[in-house]
Amino acid sequence: MTRHCPAVLVAAPASGQGKTTVASALARLHARAGRRVRAFKCGPDFLDPHWLALATGHPVHNLDLWMTGEADVRRRLHQAAGEADLIVVEGVMGLFDGEPSAADLAQRLGLPVLAVIDASAMAGTFGALAFGLQHFRPGLPWAGVLANRVAGERHAGMLASALMAGPGDAAASSWLGAVMRDARFALPERHLGLTVAAELPDALARLDAAADALADTALGRMNDPALQRWAVPFAPPDPLTADAHGHRPLAGRTIAVARDAAYCFIYPANLDLLQDMGAGLSFFSPLADEPVPPCDALWLPGGYPELHAPVLSVAARCRESLQAHVAADRPVWAECGGMMMLFDTLELSDGTAHAGWGLLPGRVVMQQRLAALGPQQLDTPAGALRGHTFHYSRTESPLQPAIHATAMRGGAAGQGEAVYRHGSLAASYFHAWMPSAPAAAAALFLTRPTP
């Protein structure tokens, strides 16, 4: 049955315009008003969903027409439409950046686009930029435009006038207000993106301040009848295939999962899939020097081990239990940050070196410049896992890769991230979206998987 629900995709002309702040504030504002809000993140990002989850109180899933696939996108939005009064989707990069882009998602699913523009250094050009975003691609669903980081009421008036002066009868209805520049709701950043919400004791206060600021705009004053102009019909998805539903290759197996501030890049959809395939999950914290709990297989997800290297380096109980797990020939899948401490040495960008956990020969070296970014695919005997890579470090190891992922850029394929194998351990900078190939995901946690 088709489900109708107000939905909006929060986009911008570029990264750094304030998409996450506005999307989270919008979700928080309506959640505080008692509405049921579900949020999603366009693209493969791990960090922005932490803020959206804090705003809504619910897990946040990623939507990507290539990585997660259109069928998965439609299924998740259809489910959310049956549970929510409002769906908020945060875009990725600039509205038309990437293949596929946020605009592709909006047009394919019929999601109205709310453009957030950092207007701190512009006046009349604001109107031209907003007009261009709306009309660059014919047929793009449009919700309106919000000016962000505005200096004051006079500045806001100039921006509104610039928009009204543009061609077309829809110019007036495009203006959804201005949010003033305010340090109280700035979201701090570091390499890889925003600081994780859970690391800031005032994270919720920041979102509440942003929601309060948004409440003073036309966007923030939209009530239930007004939201209905954004109502989108979400058609029922195609039935799941037997490969993705009802198959339980991990039944009776326990998978230990590292989860703390150092290992926090985890797609909720991956956890859901592992459980759907029958696995029991047991979480532990390497930062707290907790040993690997009793389990059949281990997953070390990505995160920020470089920020916690001094602590992780001396986490003897965790290291020794991990070494014992590998010695017992039990599978380990380590991705990106989860792989970094497994080498002999982790060298930080300032040249400081910390002892790793000695399960892979060689060292990992942090650098100031981005080392790799983009969508990738890992072809395995059990299927093709889709995912991505995004890291600032490089490996130096005598160990030869067992296989490479394939980098997918602009329709052309090239050599992607190495996958290292050492006994029952498989490790790579590749981040897997496990629902893209459930059988291949299950194989990572079975005895001696073959990536």
Residue 215 dihedral angles phi and psi, to the nearest 5° = -60, -20
In angstroms, the Cα distances linking 146 to 1, 95, 217, 344, 434 are 34, 14, 9, 50, 36
Residues 6+ apart with CB under 8 A from 13: 94, 95, 115, 117, 129, 133
Tell me which H or E stretch contains 71: helix 70-81
Q: What's 271's DSSP letter?
A: H
Q: Say if residues 124 and 162 touch (Cβ distance below 8 Å).
A: yes
Q: What's 282's DSSP letter?
A: E
Q: Say if residues 312 and 287 touch (Cβ distance below 8 Å).
A: yes
Output the six-digit token pair for 320: 């020794």
- How far apart (Å, rounded) are the C-alpha atoms in residues 266 and 292? 18
3-state helix, strand, coil in the chain (%, to 5): 30, 30, 40
- How far apart (Å, rounded) are the C-alpha atoms in residues 91 and 107? 13
- How far apart (Å, rounded) are the C-alpha atoms in residues 332 and 217? 50
Q: Say if residues 30 and 248 touch (Cβ distance below 8 Å).
A: no
Residue 187 dihedral angles phi and psi, to the nearest 5° = -105, 115
Residue appearing with tokens 């998740």: 76
Beta strands in 285-352 (DSSP E): 297-300, 332-335, 343-347
Q: By three-state DSSP, how is residue 26 classified?
A: helix
Q: Any alpha helices (H) in 167-315, and if so which ranges?
A: 171-174, 203-215, 224-227, 268-276, 309-313
- Active-site positions read 336
- How far apart (Å, rounded) are the C-alpha atoms in residues 423 and 418? 16
Residue 200 dihedral angles phi and psi, to the nearest 5° = -110, 120
